[in-house]
Copies of this chain bind each other. A is one copy, B any other.
Amino acid sequence: MKPDLISNDSQLNSSGKLIHLLGLKGLPKEQIENILNVASRLLDTQGNLKKSKVLDDMSVANLFFEPSTRTRNTFEIAAKRSSAQTINVDLANSATKKNETLMDTMHTLKAMQIDMFVIRHKKNGLPHHIANNIEGIAIINAGDGINAHPTQALLDMLTIQQEKKSFKDLSVAIVGDIRHSRVAHSDIHALRTLGTKDIRLIAPGYLQYNGEVSNNLKLLDNLDEGISGVDVVVTLRLQKERMLAAEIPNEKVYFDHYGITNEKLKLAKPNAIVMHPGPVNRGIEVDTAVADGPQSVILKQVTNGIAIRMAVMEVLAQAL
């Protein structure tokens, strides 16, 4: 199934309240802005994060079916900074091995008084499936297949907002393997909803976006053309096997065509920012001089990631 076909309708209840965060497709602008506002309030003027007591009576479980220490850590830190109890469910050794069905595991964890589940899974739409089959708990999609990674896109939006204020007049370039990137897919939905007038997707054909088109979306395969005059450059993590499938013989060739160097960055606006979801492959997606340079906001994204996850949990807790 094309990821863009998966509906996120069940993340809103009948009165329009957010009860899960499954994806940004179809999420109303006010919901996105509300999460950005809550996250901004959690950051002090130095960009440091305050602690909060809002999840004092809640339990949050991390269910990562795909390994990702980094994203799991950010959710665990966010939950703890919100005063929630946290539990990491070790799925490698867990009951799913003993043939328990996934929904049995979910119902069991709910019966253990877990309120919120952070789920990462390689299957598109798996968090949606769970959300549709269990009540009274909140699901946060921490990345499903190539479909969506909504908290990553929200932290990207928060970072852009901090640097650029209004989304309307921006030109944003997204560079890399867009077709298989849940980050890119969620970014595109967020940027569209926030009214960004010029979204440029820069990738070789095989890695190019194949989702819903829209007026403000341009598909390009040339980086020089794509990056010219943009305000924001979003780079994506490259997976080697997909680079090869795209007939890019090696990392050097990819870097020559799509790597962001200071030279390439000169084609963008002088105050353009460079983003990456991390971890960065230095010298493949982004040159070290750019990653560590004054236009990089990569580490700001990390801090914003904690703020956004705290904000999402706070908003979801209000509906529990």
Q: Which residues of A contact B (CB under 8 A)?
A: 48-49, 51, 57, 59, 67, 69-70, 73-74, 76-77, 80-81, 85, 87, 89-91, 93-95, 98-101, 104-105, 107-114, 278-282, 299-300, 302-303, 305-306
Given A67-B93, A69-B90, A95-B69, are A74 and B279 also a contact pair (CB < 8 Å)? no
**Closest beta carbon of chain B to A63's beta carbon, Å:** 11
Given A76-B87, A89-B69, are A299 and B111 also a contact pair (CB < 8 Å)? yes
Checking B70, B76, B110, B305 against A94 with a beta-carbon cut-off of 8 angstroms, the contacting residue is B70
Check B112–A302 contact: CB distance below 8 A. yes
Contacts of A303 on B, CB cut-off 8 Å?
A: 111-113
Given A100-B279, A306-B112, are A95 and B77 also a contact pair (CB < 8 Å)? no
For the complex, give the distance between the alpha carbons of A275 and B279 in Å: 44
Check B108–A299 contact: CB distance below 8 A. yes
Contacts of A109 on B, CB cut-off 8 Å?
A: 73
Integer count of this chain's copies in the complex: 3
Given A81-B85, A94-B69, A108-B299, are A279 and B51 also a contact pair (CB < 8 Å)? no
Contacts of A85 on B, CB cut-off 8 Å?
A: 77, 80-81
Q: Can you add 19 more A-B contacts, CB < 8 Å, to A73-B112, A80-B87, A101-B282?
A: A48-B113, A59-B77, A59-B80, A69-B90, A69-B91, A73-B89, A73-B109, A77-B113, A98-B279, A100-B280, A104-B278, A104-B279, A104-B280, A110-B299, A111-B299, A111-B300, A112-B303, A113-B303, A113-B306
Residue of B at shortest CB range from A50? B57
For the complex, give the distance between the alpha carbons of A100 and B85 in Å: 30
A–B complex contacts, Cβ < 8 Å, 22 sampled: A48-B113, A51-B57, A59-B77, A69-B93, A73-B87, A73-B89, A73-B109, A76-B87, A77-B87, A81-B85, A95-B278, A95-B279, A98-B281, A99-B281, A104-B279, A104-B280, A108-B278, A108-B299, A112-B302, A112-B303, A112-B306, A113-B306
